[in-house]
Amino acid sequence: LVKLTIDGVSVEVPAGTTVLEAAKKAGINIPTLCYLKDINQIGACRMCIVDTGARAFGAACVLPVANGMNVKTNTPKIREARRVNLELLLSNHDKKCLDCARNQKCELQQMCQDLGVDDVDKYKGKMNEYDIDDLSPSIVRNNNKCILCRRCVAACNNTQAVGVIGPMGRGFKTKIGSAWEQPLNDVACINCGQCIAACPTGALYEKDSTKAVWDLLNDETKTVVVQPAPAVRAALGEEFGIPMGTSVTGKMAAALRRLGFNKVFDTDWAADLTIMEEGTEFIGRLNNGGVLPLITSCSPGWIKFCETYYPDFIPNLSSCKSPHEMEGAMIKSYWAEKVGIDPKDIKVVSVMPCTAKKFEAKRPELGHNGLADVDEVITTRELAKMIKEAGIDFANLPDEDFDPVLGESTGAGVIFGATGGVMEAALRTVYEIVTKETLDKVDFTAVRGIEGVKEATIKVGDLDVNVAVAHGTANAAKLLDSIRSGEKTYHFIEVMGCPGGCVTGGGQPIVSAQKRMECDPKTLRAAALYNEDANKPQRKSHENASIMAVYKDYLGEPNSHLAHELLHTHYTA
């Protein structure tokens, strides 16, 4: 252990700890802007400068502790230097906070308030003016609000192994952009939104779909049906001051009803349906010498990554549509028939933790009879905005249930939202179908947790099934490379495009850099889903009575002709 003093407080921390982390331990929050734990640690913005008695101030986020160090984080000189830093940033920032997507959640805004910056025009002068890039179906980039911290660049490059955004130009003309100034839509962006999650300001945000959804809700000629994704319930509460890690399923259903949706269904239902279809596909591939490993296909950022960077694995992708697309297809076929509404008059809105789902919903592969399976996708953040706009007192709502049949799910459907959840749900069902035995211990803990690549061998009857789980596309790339090289062989793989899986998708409530030093949203939000699973009366998809009834009355068998027509698709490079 290393012993040092920070602002008069003595602390002991392991060697290699940074002064920033040591200070946090001593109860001192050193301001940061470019720092993002585990993602961007470059010491560039100079907000976290501290005085160690050395000739120059050091950047605490990259400064390792040393024995006997005496650190001052809060001297008049340091405070003044930080303020000047902020004033200079503001001199080239549009400062239109009122209509900014990040108003009240912006780290720059917060810091100006915390550090008492009271003259925002101190260095008024020439400003860069940039066009807003809003051509992508998922992501909007507004460089007028960019502070060049490079957190988005690190997320795109390192966490996602995509690297389509980076610094260009020099000096005052430096900006973040894509090669040849192309819009994000024209480069190999996978729409994951991890750049948004990393951004401290309003320079990156999702393409707004709330106006379109309000219009649908106001259109009397349409039956508007909503379905929230598994991960939304694990984080929506954060937008209303409810502690991270609390699932708000009942309040969410109540809020959706109060917003005016005609039916409040649940993507978890179709997650159970996906397990029936994908589990059957897996058993079929095993028995009939099909392409293995089978790789899950429910994360649209991952699909785009596979198509773009690993097209040789396209035959490995499951032909299953993602659950919310399956739900949309079933709403516009099975449910439409049941209630006697023309599918043309039904509009399906998905609430997703994901920005790539906006792109996915527009894919021509994902429709039926000339109608898109899903009409609009809003993120968790956009749903929170709509709830606030409607004046709904979310925190005090009663718990309500989803509407019957397409809103009924098991615990297996719920855990889809966390990395490893789809694999665990699939194993629960595949095991029982193959062995015809009851699985007593349904928790497959080997595929839980936040390790980048997880693997396990599961005994299913006579067969040792090798499974792997990757989350975040950089981890997926590592895993696929190990298969390409012949180093590893698996039967079944789950890939989710975002690190942590959907619970930390690019559409989830923003977690500030300071908060990420205190807790890990991946773990806390996943725990909310695993808790919900543990408390469900049914925890296996094939025990979902409404799914079984739909097979009996409508689809026939899993992977039947009709199931293929409605619930499966094919991707090509």
Would you name the residues annotated as active-site residues?
A: 278, 281, 298, 318, 357, 360, 365, 502
> Among 31, 137, 193, 323, which residue sits at the site for ligand HC0 (rule: CB under 6 A)?
323
Query: Which of ligand HC0, ligand SF4, none has residue 59 at its interface (CB below 5 to 8 Å by kind)?
Result: none
Least distance from ligand SF4 to the Cβ atom of residue 184, Å: 6
Give the DSSP H or E segment for 470.
strand 463-471
Query: Which of ligand HC0, ligand SF4, none has residue 193 at its interface (CB below 5 to 8 Å by kind)?
Result: ligand SF4
Distance, in Å, from the CA atom of 180 to the CA atom of 167, rounded to the nearest integer, reads 12
Closest Cα to residue 278, out of 243, 246, 322?
A: 322
How far separated are the first and last CA of the chain, in Å rounded?
Answer: 52
Distance, in Å, from the CA atom of 531 to the CA atom of 222, rounded to the nearest integer, reads 36
Query: Which of ligand SF4, ligand HC0, none has residue 267 at its interface (CB below 5 to 8 Å by kind)?
Result: ligand HC0
Stretch that binds ligand HC0, among 71-79, 258-266, 486-494, 501-509 (CB under 6 A): 501-509
Least distance from ligand SF4 to the Cβ atom of residue 359, Å: 10
Least distance from ligand HC0 to the Cβ atom of residue 248, Å: 14
> Among 162, 253, 273, 351, which residue sits at the site for ligand SF4 (rule: CB under 6 A)?
162
Nearer to ligand HC0, 230 or 509 (CB): 230
* Binding of ligand HC0 by 493 (CB under 6 A): no
Closest Cα to residue 320, out of 276, 383, 268, 375?
A: 276
- What SS3 state is found at 466? strand
Nearer to ligand SF4, 151 or 568 (CB): 151
* Binding of ligand HC0 by 357 (CB under 6 A): yes
Report DSSP letters for 344-398, one per residue: GGEEEEEEES-SHHHHHHT-TTSEETTEES--EEEEHHHHHHHHHHTT--GGGPP
* Positions in 425-484 near ligand HC0 (CB under 6 A): none
Q: Which two tokens stand for residue 33?
A: 């802007």
Query: Which of ligand SF4, ligand HC0, none has residue 501 at its interface (CB below 5 to 8 Å by kind)?
Result: ligand HC0
Report whether 184 contacts 133 (CB < 8 A).
yes
Nearer to ligand HC0, 133 or 325 (CB): 325
Identify the DSSP state of 49: E
* Binding of ligand HC0 by 226 (CB under 6 A): no
Distance, in Å, from the CA atom of 374 to the CA atom of 72, rounded to the nearest integer, reads 55
Least distance from ligand HC0 to the Cβ atom of residue 428, Å: 15
Report whether 130 contacts 144 (CB < 8 A).
yes
Distance, in Å, from the CA atom of 404 to the CA atom of 305, rounded to the nearest integer, reads 36
> Among 142, 194, 267, 333, which residue sits at the site for ligand SF4 (rule: CB under 6 A)?
194
Report whether 140 contacts 204 (CB < 8 A).
yes
Report whether 67 contacts 2 (CB < 8 A).
yes
* Binding of ligand HC0 by 83 (CB under 6 A): no
Interface ranges with ligand HC0 (CB under 6 A): 229-231, 267, 271, 298-299, 322-324, 352-354, 357, 416-417, 422, 496, 501-502, 505
Binding site for ligand SF4 (CB under 6 A): 139, 155-156, 160, 162, 164-165, 184, 189-195
